[in-house]
Amino acid sequence: MGMVDSPNGNHQARKGRRQSKRLGFHLDMTPMVDVAFLLLTFFMLTTTFAKSNTMEINMPPETGEVRIAEQNVMTVRIAGDGMAYCSLGEEVPRRISLYGPSDSRKKSLSAELRSLLRKQTSANRKMVIVVKISDKAKYRNLVDLIDELNLMKIDRFSLDDYTDQDEAAIKNAV
């Protein structure tokens, strides 16, 4: 370990004489090379390149109408006030808090909204969820809602424009 050896170093024999020039000096480099390669392999194996994750969204084409029975549509309207307004078909929307009680920025949807979504989609397999988001809402709301739907494996949902009718509809929400 850590030895330094010089081939022309018969020091004991030549004690007292003038020390010879150290020609052909050898240093055992094995430990250094070991460490260098260990580090190299470690960083090579643990490096992960930063790649972003994505969510895919499909939009229905503008043309071509799909007709769905009224009782199979659940509309989720998100206004800018942190509330979701859910309504089945044409009935009066129900006001539900969008986010559950949680601290700071890590927000998840409220348990009430989640259970409603789960109940409706499991009760009726043909249920389509129409998501309408107000211009006053944040982009975060869209991502959180779609993420939740993806987690629940609900793929029958679509995004639609938020119109003045929706604004009027949520006015008399219960």
Size of the site for another protein (CB under 8 A): 40
Instruction: Count the Cβ atoms, other than its own, within 10 Å of residue 116.
Output: 18
What tokens appear for 5 in the block? 């050896």
Q: Which is nearer to another protein, 39 or 92 (CB)?
A: 39
Considering only 1, 45, 59, 123, the residue that binds another protein (CB under 8 A) is 59
SS3 82: coil
Q: Which is nearer to another protein, 96 or 160 (CB)?
A: 160
Considering only 8, 108, 115, 124, the residue that binds another protein (CB under 8 A) is 108
What tokens appear for 146 in the block? 């779609």
- Measured torsion, CA atoms of residues 100, 164, 140, 84, in degrees rounded to the nearest 10: 10
112 binds another protein (CB under 8 A): no
Per the CB < 8 A criterion, the answer to whether 132 and 77 are in contact is: yes
Which window, 11-19, 56-64, 66-74, 164-172, contacts another protein (CB under 8 A)? 56-64
Instruction: Count the Cβ atoms, other than its own, within 10 Å of residue 93.
Output: 21
87 binds another protein (CB under 8 A): no
147 binds another protein (CB under 8 A): yes
106 binds another protein (CB under 8 A): yes
What tokens appear for 144 in the block? 């959180």
Minimum distance of another protein from residue 129's CB (angstroms): 17
Q: Who's near 6: CB < 8 A, 6+ residues apart?
A: 22, 24, 25, 26
Q: Footprint of another protein on this chain (CB under 8 A)?
A: 26, 29-30, 32-33, 36-37, 40, 51-62, 106, 108, 133-144, 146-147, 150-151, 159, 161
